[in-house]
Structure 1
Amino acid sequence: MILIEGTSYITFGEGTLTELELAIFKKKQTSPYEYQYDSIHALLFELHMRMQIMKSAKALSRAGVYFAGFERTLCNPSYWHLTDEGRFQLKSGVAPQDAIRDIFTNGGSYGFECSMAVIVVLYHALLQSIDPGQFDLLFADLLLFDWDSNSKLNLIDRTHTEEAVMGDVLYFENPDVEQLLPWWKGENVVLLENDLFYGHGHGLGIASGEEVINVLNKYRIPGSMKSAFLTDRYVHPDFSCFSEYQRPSKERPITARIGDWIHVRKVGYLIN
């Protein structure tokens, strides 16, 4: 259930939400779990950014970035310093927004593994969702690695994957991975529409959950009967932390509280 200002009675006028945004709203609204928002603005920002996460995932899948383990990580030295741990540290004097965009425009200069890929997706989606100048201020010392090393994204850790919606980051685990092939121990993925997932590397790209599991199962120890599986853990940014930085070009819809109902109508609410 979605709660805003103490009510769960929310209605949107025609065209206020896209088809996919409406699907996310309906799933959260009919959930037995409670999702609280400070305002309609915060809810709309989350729906918008979730759309951007999916667009960024698809864009990265087409960008030509190589899959590489930590020891073979690659980056464009014009924007990033590659640390001994395989992390990308933003170079002095480089705008964070330019460095993130370069990954998508010069993908052939980059190679990283799946956990960094989803972090890149989240940063790019955030850049598309908030004012670029604010993005540069928020991430002036940008460091790219895995989802446990990017606290500035304010990732919220959740369980119960039946509650996951489009734009969430999930993980497939391969418990009996062949020890000589540790990069097949699992796959970080972004949930897309139609129950598809984006997973970087291993030739996966955009695939169904069954396809991800089938690929991982090929790299188990001989004789293993333990299949790869989708874990209960999933994460997403704390969207409310970033909603105040929404791009100035975004116009808020008209909202009206009538009794227990909140009515929302589109008035030039722009979606990039």
Structure 2
Amino acid sequence: MIVVGGTNKVTFGTGILTERTHAVFRTKHNSPLRYHYDSAATLLFELTLRSNIVEAARALSQSGAYFADFEHSFCNPVYWDRTREGKFRLRSGASPHDAIQDIFANGKAYAFECSMAVIVVLHKGLLDTIEKHHYDALFTDLFLFDENAKRDLQLIDRRPIQEAVAGDILYVQNPDYDPAIPWAKGENVVMLDDERFFGHGYGLGVASAEDVMTILNKQRLPESTVSASFTDRFVHPDFAYFAQWTRRRYNQPLIAKIGDWIHVEKI
């Protein structure tokens, strides 16, 4: 259940929500868990960012960026320095937002594995949701590496998996993977809005859950009987934290509380 400022009675006028954002709202509002928001504006920010994460995932799938393990990763040296471990650090003097945009505009200059791919997607989704100058101020020392992402993107762990919605990052584990293929251990995927997922590994792109499992299962040990499967954990950015940087960008709707109801309407 979604609770905004102490009430679960929230209505949206025509044109406020898209089909995608309405589906996320409906799913969370019908959940047995309680999702608390300090304001309708914060809720709208989350719905917008989730939608932009989905768009970013689809865009990365079409960017031409290659899959590679860390040992064989590469990047555009105009914007990034590649570390000895195969991670990407923002080049001195480069703009954070230009560096992220370049991955999508110049994908064939990049190769990375699935955990970095979902980090790139989250950054692009956030960049498309807040002001560029705010994004640059937040990520002056941008380093595309999973441990840094937990802090920089304020990632929050959630469970159970049944609560995941579009824009969440899930993990598919493959317990009996072939040790000769270490990247077959699992796949980080972005949940999209049509029962499909984006995964960068093996050139997967946009695929069904069954497709993801099938590809990973082909990389198991010969005697394995344990299928790849989703873990019961997913992550997403701290939407409430980042919502403070969106106030001026969008024409804010009219938000009024009448009795127990919060009404959100276009001005």
Whether the TM-score (by the shorter chain) exceeds 0.5 is yes
1:1-272 correspondence to structure 2 within 5 Å: 1-146=1-146, 148-150=147-149, 151-246=151-246, 248-267=248-267
- Structure 1 residues 241-250 or 169-178, which shifts more? 241-250
Deviation (angstroms), 1:248: 2.5
Q: Which stretch shifts more, 241-250 or 114-123?
A: 241-250
Q: C-alpha distance in 1, partners of 2:159/2:31?
A: 14
State the alpha-carbon separation in 2 of the partners of residues 238 and 246 from structure 1.
Answer: 14
Q: Aligned AA for 1:149?
A: N
Paired residues in the alignment total: 266
Secondary structure in 1 matching 2:6: coil
The code of the aligned residue for 1:142 comes to L
Deviation at 1:203, TM superposition (A): 2.6
Structure 1 residue 247: deviation in Å? Answer: 6.3
Q: Structure 1: which 4+ aligned runs deviate by more than 2 Å?
A: none
Relative distance call for 1:247 and 1:81 in structure 2 (3 A) is farther
Alignment check: 8 A CA contact 2:170 2:231 kept: yes
Q: Is the 8 A contact 1:131 1:247 kept in 2?
A: no
Counterpart secondary structure, 1:235: strand
Q: C-alpha deviations, 1:169-188, integer Å up to 9, x for none?
A: 00100000001001111110
TM-score by length of 1: 0.96
Aligned equivalents of 2:247, 2:145: Cα separation in 1: 26
Which residues of structure 2 form unaligned runs of 5+?
Answer: none
- Partners in 1 of 2:52 and 2:10 — Cα distance? 23
The percent of aligned pairs where both chains have the same amino acid is: 54
Q: Which residue identity lines up with residue 18 of structure 2 in the other structure?
A: T
How far does the alpha carbon of each residue in 1:64-112 deviate from its partner, in whole angstroms, 9 at most, with x for none?
Answer: 0010001001011111110111111111111100100110111111000
In 2, the alpha carbon distance for the partners of 1:52 and 1:154 equals 17
8 Å CA contact 2:68, 2:113 repeated in 1: yes
Q: What is the CA-CA distance between 1:4 and the residue it aligns to? A: 1.0
CA distance in 2, matches of 1:64, 1:248: 34
How does the TM-score come out when normalised to structure 2? 0.98
Name the amino acid aligned to 2:125. Answer: A
5+ unaligned residues in a row in structure 1: which ranges? Answer: 268-272
- Cα distance in 2 for residues equivalent to 1:5 and 1:178: 50
- Report Cα offsets for 1:92-139 as digits up to 9, x if no partner: 111100100110111111000000000000001100000100110100
* Alpha-carbon RMSD: 0.9
Contact kept? 2:61, 2:198, Cα under 8 Å? yes
Amino acid at match of 1:185: K
Q: Secondary structure at the match of 2:194?
A: helix
1:195, CA displacement in angstroms? 0.8
Aligned-pair distance for 1:201?
2.5
Task: Indicate conservation of the 8 Å contact 1:254/1:264, yes or no.
Answer: yes
